[in-house]
Amino acid sequence: EDKVVQSPLSLVVHEGDTVTLNCSYEVTNFRSLLWYKQEKKAPTFLFMLTSSGIEKKSGRLSSILDKKELFSILNITATQTGDSAIYLCAVEETSGSRLTFGEGTQLTVNP
Amino acid sequence: ETGVTQTPRHLVMGMTNKKSLKCEQHLGHNAMYWYKQSAKKPLELMFVYNFKEQTENNSVPSRFSPECPNSSHLFLHLHTLQPEDSALYLCASSQGGAVEKLFFGSGTQLSVL
């Protein structure tokens, strides 16, 4: 059975801190790994990673995939209170229209 | 706004009630999904529709009944639910069943008493 494990499950930091969120996975036929940010209710897309070692960046957020060790990290530098959210990791298989999600990391950034 | 609208935002129902959740997407997508998000559990896929045809039913109990009259609308009909069905129900859409970029609605927070 496919499995996605995120750590930590929750994290509290101060504004300006840098955080690293982790996602490890076990998937039979890996196609891609995705990160979503869930503020309030609707998850919104952040990154899609398909190749090892290639960093994706968007402002203060960046992510990288290691397909050999089966994990990904999401980095957020100079955190702001607006970064407070649940960060979801999901893995897509080649076999069909299915994403397997992790439990998420609840990030709280205090002023 | 993600272009995916869900109503109602909150719903409280008894175990003997019948209610429906509605989802509408304004993105021109042809695939729509229902996900369930319970407290401290991963998002779980429930149903997938491609071009109005159901292509996946992830072993969901029959008390949940989906309906997709066209590519823009998706319903989830609920009857005789259990308290453990209380959760956030999220609708999503994508183009061509490409899950790599799902657009989610804001969900319906359901409480079953």
| DSSP assignment of B30-57 | SEEEEEEE-TTS--EEEEEEETTEEEEE
Q: One digit per residue, pLDDT tens: chain B, 113 residues?
A: 679 999 999 999 988 889 999 999 999 999 999 999 998 899 999 999 988 888 878 889 999 999 999 989 999 999 999 999 999 999 999 987 667 678 999 999 999 99
Kindly state the tokens that stand for B94: 């994508």
> What is the identity of the amino acid at B32?
M
- Tell me if chain B has a CB within 8 Å of the CB of A99: yes
| Shortest distance, CA B6 to any CA of chain A (angstroms) | 10
| Residue B105: CA count within 13 A, CB half-sphere | 31
> d(Cα A34, Cα B80) in Å, to the nearest integer?
35
Chain A residues in contact with B48 by the CB 8 A cut-off are 97
List the beta bridge partners of residue B77.
B20, B65
pLDDT of residue B2: 77
- pLDDT of amino acid B21: 97
Distance CA B52, CA B74 (A): 9
Q: What is the pLDDT of residue A97?
A: 63
Query: What integer pLDDT is reported at residue A41 of this predicted model?
Result: 85
**CA–CA separation, A102 vs A63, rounded Å?**
16
Compute the distance between CA of residue B24 and CA of residue B47 in angstroms, rounded to an integer.
15
Instruction: Kindly report the nearest CA distance between residue B91 and chain A, in angstroms.
Output: 9
Partners of B37 in the β-ladder = B88
A88 contacts on B by Cβ (under 8 Å): 43
pLDDT at A96 over 70: no
CA dihedral B10→B13→B15→B20, nearest 10 degrees, is -70
Judged against a pLDDT cut of 80, whether residue A72 lies above it is answered with yes
Asked if A97 and B48 come within 8 Å (Cβ–Cβ), the reply is yes
In DSSP terms, A43 is beta-bridged to A38
Interface size A-B, in CB pairs within 8 Å, comes to 58
More confident residue, B51 or A39: A39
Tokens of B85: 């069905």
| Contact residues, chain B to chain A, C-beta under 8 Å | 2, 4, 31, 40-45, 48, 50, 55-56, 88, 90, 94, 97-107, 109
